[in-house]
Amino acid sequence: MFNRFLLFLLLAHCLFVAHWVHFGNGAADASIVIVATNVTFQDRIAAFGPRLTEEGLTGNLVTAASIDKNNVKGCERFKKPIVGKDLIILIERGECSFIDKVRNMQAEGFVAVVVGDPVHRTLITMYATGDTRDVQIPSVFVGQDDYQKLTQLSEMEEGVLIKLTKDDILQPLLDVIIVVILSPTIMMIFIYIVWRIRRRQRRRQDIAPPQVVCNLPIKIYYTSRRQENDPTECCICLEDYQDKDELRIMPCKHEFHVACIDSWLTRQKGFCPICKRDVCTATEETPLLP
């Protein structure tokens, strides 16, 4: 049962890490800032293409819908030429890969690409397969809420001036430390505590109750009365029996010093150290307390 619990706990932790890696943890790798109002939107830089510099990248935001309503996802080139400089295009996620969108917008002359998710609010990292060294412009991803807000701002004011800021390296690094190091550490501490509790419970089950031990008979050892086959020493402390020593008689008829056997039964194991007979098993000669 305990092994199944540990397996379930480990599986839950792996699923959590996998979910964190795939969907992100809500921390923004970079930001989109509206220059006029200083309003900030969270985004996530793509895994391909150049990184943003310390100064960031400033340009006028335009939507693909304002250029061609039939190409809002940027999966093909625009049919009419693009007029303007330092333009950042806002396109919608879907229909084609992220790398195809960015390559099409790079060919149109845009300086950066913002990909918005029309359905989900979660930030993701845009990946691409194959050689992506031909991509010369940065691209970022925004969730549903920010995509809708940026679209509305572009519709209200043509050519909204925005700034793409550099990646925030510190926050993702802290997130990695929490997930990769702190989370397994907490799990191992929890497992250790559970193991100690179970060990204590098993130890309590193994030892004999003090009431049972005290109910076992005691005899006084006399050297003069010792028979030929009687033991002469305690098998626990290995000390010879002295005259008038108190000996505890076990249900199996083995005898030990009272202090030695009482400590053994109540702290170590609830059975005879010699024959392993359980002292908690009731007999006619040594009935147990209720």
Q: What is the model's pLDDT at position 155?
A: 83
Q: What is the model's pLDDT at position 223?
A: 87
DSSP the chain: -HHHHHHHHHHHHHHHHHHHHHH--S--SEEEEETTT--EEEEEE-SSSPPP-TT-EEEEEEEHHHH-GGGTT--S--SS----SSEEEEEE--SS-HHHHHHHHHHHT-SEEEEE-SS----------S--TT--S-EEEE-HHHHHHHHHHHHHSSSEEEEEPPP--HHHHHHHHIIIIIHHHHHHHHHHHHHHHHHHHHHHHHSPPHHHHHTS-EEE--GGG--TTS--B-TTT-PBPPTT-EEEEPTTS-EEEHHHHHHHHHHT-SB-TTT--BTTS--SSSPPP-
What domains can be seen in the chain, in order of their start residue?
29-167 (3.50.30.30), 208-290 (3.30.40.10)
> Averaged in consecutive runs of 10 residues, what is the pLDDT profile of the chain (290 residues)?
57 55 49 91 92 89 92 92 89 94 95 95 91 94 94 84 76 60 79 84 80 90 86 90 92 92 88 88 48
Q: What is the model's pLDDT at position 218?
A: 93
Q: What is the model's pLDDT at position 24?
A: 44
User: What's this model's pTM, rounded to 2 decimal places?
Assistant: 0.52
